[in-house]
Amino acid sequence: MIKLIRRASAEARAFLQEHADDALESEVVRKLKTPRAASRKRSDAETDDEPPARKRAAADEKPGRKPRFAPVTFSEEGGVRFLHFGTEWVQGAMRLRHPWRLELEYAQQMMAWLLFLDAPPKIAQLGLGSAALTKFCYRHFTQSHVEAVELNPAVVIAAHSMFALPSDDARLRVTECDAWDYVSDAANHASLGVMQVDLYDATARGPVLDSVAFYRACRECLTEPGMLSVNLFGDHPSFERNLKNLRTVFDGRVVALPEVHLGNRIVLAFKGPPLAFSAEQLALRAKHIENSFELPARDWLVKLSQITGADDFSI
């Protein structure tokens, strides 16, 4: 398992090295050089009757305008392929021999909702990245509909062509739109048992959507019971703001797990009736998770007890 969140520049590794992999020079990869970002904040000037996100993206790409998105780039090392947005920051990873596994520790920890909920009828991922979470949920939760929301079409192409994301089918859907528009759509309210939020731009220093309004819209999309898992950076000023906003929206029913990698902290937020689990119940669930999904659930329990000061859990 790779524990680093920063790697050497993907531009240098994937495109500029003399002996770069020929596949990275293919027709598909040339398409992936279109600049991008995972999502964006809505400006004060925008209104509810603005054109769809894809039309706005096309307008932004007129000659002479600054590119709207950072470039989608790649690197490979030690049998692992990494996704970047034109910087050294890792936006996702896949071990080539095990494309369905969750390679990065923070991505594994975003599945910690399994300690408290069974797989719900519908799961959504905001920010597709390398599609690791989307693929994992699709493969293992065969009774669940899995949806990923991604603004940039280049990232969608990359997920399919470079990171083994299957095509859409009856259980899998990639929705190409702004994450804000998705959670604001009343059609999505009260439809998701779990939402996983991982919205970062090229600098990867803080989520691009993190307001009270955004998290309130996320909460509206959840069923009861329902859970939100969010990837934050604990060593960045945005962490305290996000944690405060999440606590405000979810009535304090929020748990921030200890730091992994170089600053990643996963925050879990709960909606619905109170939940209570004994230490024995949590141990049984953790054993099932490890046996069924090869995820380090007992380590999650250790971290959870460090946060709560108890082996049982209620929220």
pLDDT of residue 233: 87
Instruction: Of 200, 197, 214, 233, give the one whose Cα is nearest residue 36.
Output: 200
Q: Where in the chain is the domain with CATH 3.40.50.150?
A: 105-314
Which residues in 103-152 belong to E strands, given as ranges?
Answer: 122-126, 145-150
pLDDT of residue 64: 53
Confidence of residue 46 (pLDDT cuts 50, 70, 90): very low
Spatial separation of the C-alpha atoms in residues 91 and 203, rounded to whole Å: 10
pLDDT of residue 9: 33
The pLDDT tens digits of the residues spanning 179-196 come to: 999 999 999 999 999 999
Structure tokens at 139: 């493969």
Burial of 70 (0-12, 13-18, 19+ CB in 10 A): buried
Parallel, antiparallel, or unpaired for β 192-197 and 222-233?
parallel
The pLDDT tens digits of the residues spanning 199-214 come to: 987 766 678 899 999 9
Query: Is 3.30.590.10 the CATH classification of the domain at 105-314?
Result: no
Spatial separation of the C-alpha atoms in residues 98 and 100, rounded to whole Å: 6
Confidence of residue 68 (pLDDT cuts 50, 70, 90): confident
pLDDT of residue 69: 85
Structure tokens at 59: 């307008």
| Bond prior to 225 in cis (omega within 30° of 0) | yes
DSSP 30-45: HHTTSEE-S--PPPTT
Confidence of residue 158 (pLDDT cuts 50, 70, 90): very high
User: Within 13 Å of residue 278, how many CA atoms lie on the same side as its CB?
Assistant: 3
**Is the confidence at residue 61, as pLDDT, over 80?**
no
Structure tokens at 181: 């528009």
Confidence of residue 54 (pLDDT cuts 50, 70, 90): very low
Confidence of residue 237 (pLDDT cuts 50, 70, 90): confident
- One-letter amino acid identity for 202? A
Lowest model confidence (mean pLDDT) among 33-42, 58-67, 281-290, 293-302? 33-42
Average pLDDT value over all residues in the chain: 83
pLDDT of residue 284: 98
Average pLDDT score over residue span 84-93: 91
The proportion of the chain whose per-residue pLDDT surpasses 90, expressed as a percent, equals 70
Average pLDDT score over residue span 294-309: 96
pLDDT of residue 53: 42
**Is the confidence at residue 275, as pLDDT, over 70?**
yes
R_g of the chain computed on alpha carbons: 19
What does each C-alpha distance from 257 to 41, 60, 110, 243, 305 come to in angstroms? 26, 39, 10, 12, 10
Spatial separation of the C-alpha atoms in residues 89 and 204, rounded to whole Å: 7
Confidence of residue 91 (pLDDT cuts 50, 70, 90): very high
Structure-model confidence comparison of residues 266 and 10, the more confident one = 266
pLDDT of residue 205: 63
pLDDT of residue 236: 83
Confidence of residue 171 (pLDDT cuts 50, 70, 90): very high
- The residues pairing with 194 across neighbouring beta strands, listed in sequence order, are 123, 227
Phi, psi of 271 (to 5 degrees): -130, 140
pLDDT of residue 234: 85
Average pLDDT score over residue span 278-290: 98
SS3 293: helix
**Is the confidence at residue 198, as pLDDT, over 60?**
yes
Confidence of residue 70 (pLDDT cuts 50, 70, 90): confident
Instruction: Of 94, 106, 93, 91, give the one whose Cα is nearest residue 152.
Output: 91
Provide the CA 33 distance to its chain's centre, in angstroms.
21
Cβ atoms < 10 Å from Cβ of 47: 7
Spatial separation of the C-alpha atoms in residues 248 and 135, rounded to whole Å: 32
Structure-model confidence comparison of residues 36 and 261, the more confident one = 261
Q: Print burial letters for 167-193: b (CB count within 10 Å at least 16), e (below 16).
A: eeeebbebbbebbbbbbbeeebeebbb
**Is the confidence at residue 258, as pLDDT, over 50?**
yes
Q: Mark out the alpha helices in the chain (DSSP H runs).
A: 10, 27-31, 53-60, 105-109, 132-140, 153-162, 179-184, 212-221, 238-249, 279-293, 297-308
